[in-house]
A and B are shown apart, each in its own frame.
Chain A
Amino acid sequence: MATRSTQGPPSLATLFLSFLTIGSTSFGGGLLGWIRRELVERRGWIDDQQFLVFYGISQMVPGATNVNLSVIIGTQLRGIPGAFAAVAGLLLAPLAILLALGALYFAARNVPGSRLINAALIGAGAAAIGFNLATGIRLAHHNIRRIGPAVVAAAIIVGIGILRIPLLEVLLVMLPASLLVTLAERAR
């Protein structure tokens, strides 16, 4: 497992710019992958274990998971102002683009070439799903070393991905199960 970051916290401006980059590059999807790439791999502000814990907490509360994740990472790095810097950076570019798109849409319903643009968006979206899947595979490769946690992850993949059981129900069962696995391995 990776060691905890030893760098000092970034300035608010750097934090904002970092999330601005994340928000600007993640059009089409893959946001979780971009967040990990920027904050864990490129900046080293948090490590994989922190990233996974924060992601886990983000899933436990309602709302857009990636906004929750940004709030928690921003708070961790720079307190409450950090949370605002992170979320503002994350949302600025998407908000500007969407307001422009909205204005266009309300002005003229049928944009020429929209079928081609739509196909390109679907292609980027399909690739973005692959980016998130690849992020999951990288995380598994770096952080899962024993059979118990591997079984926990596999059960969740089957439960949500194949059997389509709602996330909340899976978490209510698998979090305690994972805790038991961890405690059992500790005891040995």
Chain B
Amino acid sequence: MATLLQIAGVFGVLSLLAFGGGAAVLPDMQRQVVDVHHWITSREFLDMFALSRAIPPGSMIVVLIGQKTAGIAGALVALLAMFGPSSLLAFALGRLWHRAGAAAWRETLEQAMAPVSIGVTIASGIAIARSTEHDWATYAVTAATTLLLALTRLHPLAVMGGGALLLALVSS
């Protein structure tokens, strides 16, 4: 029980610090769970990061840390703690927005937010590609899928399957 409370405490705080998404708090998380609480080793943290990286919606590494530390209950507590507090803030801000109704300032703000969100979407893609991709094959897959999915009606799963197959072939 004490461990579950500690898990809730650690991830609950990280949840509120994760501006821009979970990647922002990964170093803090590693320090807390490896150095401060000794729940897992540094090697396990890296393995868990690799295992959870492809699992949506991000930050799912907390499930593995919780599971290793306190079983299924630990996993669920870690998940709730990581997503709960930030979700409450998102809910509150969304509500505030909804309450504004058809106010003129809201329409203006909405118009102003559109290009910002579009810019962030494209910029995030470029930033993630630059930090995770280091060879021509992965860059080529990203560039090709960007073009294919922007210009054609191909199903995203087919294109992503193609990318997976291509890199498996290149590596073997």
Task: Return A41 CB to nearest CB of chain B, in Å.
Answer: 10
A61: CB under 8 A from chain B? yes
Contact partners of B137 in chain A: CB under 8 A: 123, 126
Report the bound CA distance from A178 to B108 in whole Å. Answer: 10
Tell me if A153 and B141 are in contact (CB < 8 A): no
Interface residue range, chain A: 35 or more
Select from chain A the residue with minimum beta-carbon distance to B86: A63
State the CA gap A124–B138 with chains docked (Å). Answer: 9
Among A54, A71, A144, A160, point to the contact of B118 (Cβ < 8 A). Answer: A144
> Which chain A residues lie closer than 8 Å to B118 at the CB level?
52, 136, 139-140, 143-144, 153
Q: Mark A87-116, 1 if CB is under 8 A from B, else 0.
A: 100110011011101110110010000011
Give the chain B neighbours of A65 by CB distance below 8 A: 20-21, 58
Q: Which residue of A lies closest to B66 (CB)?
A: A102
Q: Interface size on B (CB < 8 Å)? A: 94
A64 and B86 within 8 A (CB): yes
Identify A71's interface contact among B90, B110, B170, CB under 8 A: B90
Task: Report Cα–Cα, A27/B93, bound state, in Å.
Answer: 28
CB of B113 within 8 A of CB of A68, answer no
| Smallest Cβ-Cβ distance to B94: which chain A residue | A72
A150 within 8 A of B: yes
Residue of B nearest to A139 (CB): B118
CB of A156 within 8 A of CB of B114, answer no
B16–A71 contact, CB under 8 A? Answer: no
Question: Residue on B with the closest CB to A140?
Answer: B118
Do the beta carbons of A132 and B97 come within 8 Å of each other? Answer: no
- Point out the residues of chain A lying under 8 angstroms from B20, CB to CB: 59, 65, 166-168
B117 touches A64 (CB 8 A): no
| Contact residue among A30, A101, A139 (Cβ-Cβ distance under 8 Å from B51) | A101
Q: Which of B106-148 contact A (CB under 8 A)?
A: 108-130, 132-133, 137-139, 141-148
Query: Contacts A30-B160, A64-B59, A98-B52 given: A123-B122 contact, CB under 8 Å?
Result: no
Task: Tell me whether A12 is interfacial, beta carbon within 8 Å.
Answer: no
Contact A23 B145 (CB under 8 A): no
Q: How far is the CB of A128 from chain B (nearest CB, A)?
A: 6
| A53 interfacial by beta-carbon distance below 8 Å | yes
With a cutoff of 8 Å between Cβ atoms, the chain B residues found around residue A91 in the complex are 57, 79, 83
Q: Are B121 and A136 neighbours in the complex by a CB distance under 8 Å?
A: yes
A69 to B87, CA, bound (A): 9
**At the interface with chain A, which of B2-10, B26-34, B67-75?**
B67-75
Q: List 23 A-B contacts (CB under 8 A).
A: A62-B19, A63-B18, A66-B57, A67-B57, A76-B94, A87-B87, A91-B83, A97-B55, A118-B50, A119-B167, A120-B168, A122-B138, A131-B159, A135-B121, A136-B125, A137-B122, A149-B115, A153-B115, A153-B118, A156-B115, A166-B20, A181-B112, A182-B108
Q: Which residues of B contact A (CB under 8 A)?
A: 15-22, 47-48, 50-60, 63-64, 67-68, 72, 75, 79, 82-83, 85-87, 89-91, 93-95, 97-98, 108-130, 132-133, 137-139, 141-150, 156-157, 159-168, 170-172
Given contacts A98-B64, A134-B149, 12 further A-B contacts (CB under 8 A): A53-B110, A56-B117, A57-B93, A57-B97, A63-B87, A94-B57, A101-B55, A121-B54, A127-B160, A143-B114, A144-B114, A182-B108
